[in-house]
Copies of this chain bind each other. A is one copy, B any other.
């Protein structure tokens, strides 16, 4: 029985993303009969929670809505009878991300906080916490949907499905939305005039584009990328992929494929950022500090313009749209991380994939994709295997498995360097890796 008014809980409610989330709910006020929004955070995030929570209240008030905004450090209270739970927390905060990025770079290796060494450590820190949340959800709100946009979103989703044995989970990412916007602009069309089909894994997918007459425009986008480099807007010059390789793919890669297809340039670029203390994590940390200053302004009653520079734009809006689609069986076409069940024939039946799906009242229904061409198939299969091993390491705290994951990750050169980075990161993050205690003790004794 559907309730008259719904309750939404957001874990990591003190995040700088929250105003976009609130804005997204407000935008959908006619289709989302919200009763209560619970913003949850931990002791260390209490101050931020207060700041952002008050902004949220001002936004709701300005919109003339009667929604209750609750701020709490008691997660269980927030989860009780929730209809939707969204997660946007960061274990160890941005300081942990700085380590995720800088430690590998100090060895000349990409950190890459979603699929590289950094992303694996984010998985190690996050997965035990998300499984704990799921345990609470199964007790306190078993019919709620978990909408996760904590990275690495694909691995987190798979961990919830496989180890949490909880089916009502969806992983979200803003990367596809960005592609849709940039590429429709390249084609001189609106997003609505086009049909995008995505398939792959979180931050590791490819897509095709058709128009409403059924014409394949994928090649046209490639033409536009290579022919008009000088005339197109700055923010569209995003793919310096080699033209011959891209043409051979026959599909458009995602932005993160720069790490896999143009590794040398990416290493060079990130080492420069490392040298100037302007890695993404450091940049974001500064941006966030500025954002919270802005959020404090008691006059502010809406999402400030500056948030759009934060990088996660559309993330929260996607979450709101997902919630509205599930709630109303809207059958929207969205790209989400969900259980494969054969939609991508080349990947394990029970793993999480990121794929164009119809969002229904019973969750995402992947549009069947089938088989990849060989070049995409091999890479995505390796990435999935790396994810599986990483998740297992995160759950068990097994050092050998963590080393295995590092060894096969294509963003981490294998051998001594992989082991060195792994050991250094384990020690650096030890406060957030209780499951690896034994391994960390051994490393520390060895030093």
Contact = CB atoms under 8 A, between A and B. Distances in A.
Interface stretch (A93-101, A171-179, A303-311, A395-403): A395-403
A357 to B, nearest CB: 9
A146 to B, nearest CB: 14
Q: How many copies does the complex hold?
A: 4
A298 interface: no
Contacts of A381: 377-378, 381-382, 385
A211 interface: yes
Given A210-B362, A381-B382, A195 B262 contact: no
A414 B214 contact: no
A328 interface: yes
Contacts of A400: 244-245, 247-248
A371 interface: yes
A99 to B, nearest CB: 22
Interface string A405-427: 10110100111110100000000
B367 A242 contact: no
Contact of A374 (B2, B216, B379, B389): B389
Given A365-B368, A366-B368, A248 B343 contact: no
A312 interface: no
B371 A342 contact: yes
Contacts of A365: 197, 367-368
A384 interface: yes
B261 A326 contact: no
A341 B370 contact: yes
Contacts of A214: 326, 329, 360-363
Contacts of A413: 263-264
A435 interface: no
Interface residues of A, number: 76
Contact of A367 (B367, B384, B392, B415): B367
Contacts of A363: 214
Interface in A236-260: 242, 244-245, 247-249, 260
A328 B407 CA distance: 39
A331 interface: yes
Contacts of A360: 195, 210, 214
Interface in A184-238: 195, 197, 210-214, 216
A388 B404 contact: no
A371 to B, nearest CB: 7
Please give me the 3 A-B residue pairs with the lowest Cβ-Cβ distance, nearest first.
Answer: A378-B385, A214-B361, A248-B400
15 contacts: A214-B329, A214-B360, A216-B362, A242-B403, A263-B415, A331-B333, A349-B371, A366-B368, A367-B367, A374-B385, A375-B407, A378-B382, A378-B383, A379-B382, A382-B410
Given A349-B370, A358-B367, A365-B368, 9 more contacts: A195-B362, A197-B365, A212-B328, A212-B361, A341-B370, A342-B370, A343-B343, A358-B358, A366-B368
